[in-house]
Structure 1
Amino acid sequence: MTAPDDATTRLTLYRYVSGAEQTVEYLAVMRLFSSGLLIDLSATEITDRLGGQLDVDTVEDRCDQLVRWGNLVRSVRDARVRTIADWQRARTRYQISKLGGRVHRQVEELLATTEGAREVARELLAGTADRLVLIRRLATAEPADPEKLAAEVTTLFGNQRTFLDSLADFYAYLATVLSRYDLAGEEYATFKGVLLDYVDLLGSDVGRHAPLVVDALAELQPHLPAVLARLATLPGLAGGTAVERLPGRTGRDWAEFGSWFTDGHGRSGPERLRSAAEQALGQLLTNAKRMVSSAGTGLSRRDDLLRLASAFSACDDETSHRLWASTFGAAPARHLSLGIEDDDGHIPPSTSWWDAPPVDVPVTVREQGDRTARGRSGRVPDPGLDRARLLAEAEAEAAARRAAAAELTAAGRLHGARLSPAARDLLLDQLAAVVAVDQLLTGPSRRSDADLGLTLHVEPGPDTVVDSSDGRTTVHGLSLSITVGT
């Protein structure tokens, strides 16, 4: 945690992209220093790499300013030169600072980010519970393997950070879109589908996997001191509190990790996710009510007409004609040829008004000037029906998986068994999860699925051959069997 004065000082690192008039020049200089590791350049070398876009004096001024802001530091490397002129050109060299490099990576990431929605990395949540179980086993395994344990811990925390960042970006984008007053028509229909399908899918994934993660964390909690002790045996940077450690190396990191799934200092992450989905759905219904009310009564242009009348009263005749033509589009027509016209039945823009067929104007507009939409407004669709459909599809899929699991457990030893395609696919999914954890499979391994209530045992041995109605599956060099329970 930095002090308030230090935090204010560090904010000057963003000056070269926020408050500087020569932002383009600063960005070009910082990109040179961020293009590799331990880049050490002088003003002359920077000028040469920029292709002569800036002169040496300008580059030196920009680098000196970046040094004052903290983005660059002066290099202490002695330049080997042959003449005094070469020494004068190379006497001052620069390198990028640690915080300056991190800020510039953030800037480049921001410049490359699109304005559209960002997909949530929900697939990372599915393997979190399995990785916690593997970490618990590695913490108590003998002989100890700290390197593998460190790899699993770093992957766990990296996946969680990616998931939370993508989740925050998605809901921030959703909030900016739903707050728009002009959201209507096809855009409204698109984001209605996003809420009903994608948001519901996110809620279902979190609701299904969060309890498994909570149980795995509870089982890992007694072994956390052993995990931290084995991670502390790995070689690393020495330097006390000034060293920025990788995530998962302290008890505080694990407490913050578990607080998202449990309670922490407020509502848990799944509860906040459900609350955000309900709030977004409420905003969607508010937009629907607004569209229904505006379609029924129309929009008043009284204030616009009064403002136009006051403008007419304050200008001369010539200006009034120009104002009239500009406001109502009554300027003379200019017919430009746009190339070869396609014979698709549409009137091309180059056709004169005199030659074009008349436009069909509704009777109410032609005779009464009434632009009110006729007919009844469509009812706002009930999201409960779609939610019930999605739940029914999820229950059917879960029932099919349970039936396939029951078929596998009934088979037991899988060599020579005849399985349905669904049971065969479930077996391959479980085997893929085992291989993802241990690709070598030099000894016995197993994979437990708490949802289906089965355990896959994998041992090096003779081939396992499984027959199905759509073909034969052979697993070379592995003996597979299924038992009930975890």
Structure 2
Amino acid sequence: MNQPEHIRETADLFRHVSAERATAYRAVLDAFATAKRQFRLHLRPDEVRSEAHWPDANTPALEEVQSLLAQLVEWGNLRGHADTARVATIEDFYRAKFLYQLSREGEAVETGLAAFAQALQRRAELQTVALEDIQTQLAALARLAGEEPFDDARIHQTLRELVHVFEGLADNAEDFMAGLARTVELQAADAATIVAYKDRLIDYLERFIGDLVAASGRIAETIAALEPADELLRLAAAREARDAAPGDDQASEAAIERALAAWRERWAGLHGWFLRSESGPSQAQRLRARARSAIPRLLSAIARVNERRTGRSDRTADYRELARWFADTEDEADAHRLWRAAFGLAPARHLVLTVEEEVAATTPWVASPAIAIEPTLRERGRLPSAGGAPKMRDRSAEKAWLAEKIAAEDAQLAAARQRLATDRITRLSEIGRLDRHAFKLFLNVLGEALAAMQEPDARIERLTSDGSLALTLEPIDEAPIVTIETDDGTFAGRDHWIHVREVE
């Protein structure tokens, strides 16, 4: 099936990568890319020949360089123009001389290949400095949001720098955690290298986790203080839309809405990275959890490497080596001695066991009668001691004591449940004094409820882990701090409505 013309032309732009003289073509195009970075518009063949970094330092002839340039022009990577600047005679005029420069398509190819090479060479890292930069930019944005009138230029610049730093932090963190899971490089390293790498990596992770915990809280507070940030984002979108191509009013409004949608998406990503959402914890919390879990996984990988290095050799290799030893024996007697040394299938007469019939010492083990071996000899390596079986001990007193203690604990637990589980809603301040058992049950129930809390002012309904009690906990607006006296001390906290009830 024939391909469309534009697809064939696009494919020609990459033919130099897999061509026969690919390294020479890349040297030519690298020379043009360097020239463009130096703001040079054209190169002549002799300049390409002298400036390119040729493979193996073998500089080709000028005719070969011209052939390479012509082929790249045919593929569309370069453009050639007649060079009339050096014409001195009629012969020079009619002789083909060209100036070469990257075509628009060739520039796109070089940009893509450079980005590809940079992505492969990039070493991901956890950027603590980026956290500081995000704090700085957010603080600057908060100051600008409090000024009247708004400085849209400075707000736009601050948002762009904030997004640039944040994207670098997120991309590098994702790449680092993905690369951390791959510990294949540890397999071939020596023990000293493994230990040194492990120590450096653990210190690196612990330092980043500490900085992330300290910085993420302040960043989350600043983001929450800036909410809603739609007005600031609209200012940045309107300033960006000024560079849109001219058109009618409807096209200008559409350009503003597109820019605003892009800025809302970026802000939502920043918000979700540092603040918890309905879908779960923030990305910073997940990154911290993954970094913490990476430390034991790294230690486990190192332990497996050490086990492989210090453990026994492969059993298959052992059998192969033993087979070679058998093949090298000179006679059958040597083979039998090797068999006995390798597998230990010798008579068990050294155990001094009682046998039903006498067997000569020269009898092979395979021809000897079976011998019953006591289980204790198999398990512990020694024969059972002589004498009768030990007497049975009467433990009825201990069992009665345990039953009495269990009954007392059940009674205490039942009394504590009856003390807390009522049919009415009450306040914490009205509970009164609690004994040790009731207070312990109260703490268990309250702890399970607080573990499910997502917002401090939300109502909580929770079953205990055994499903026997149900708890309803509801905060009271502007409630004072109340205290509950217990046998173990004083419990203090914000007053709440509380209802503990039995579940049938």
- Larger radius of gyration, structure 1 or 2? 2
TM-score after normalising by structure 2: 0.47
Query: Which TM-score applies when normalising by structure 1?
Result: 0.48
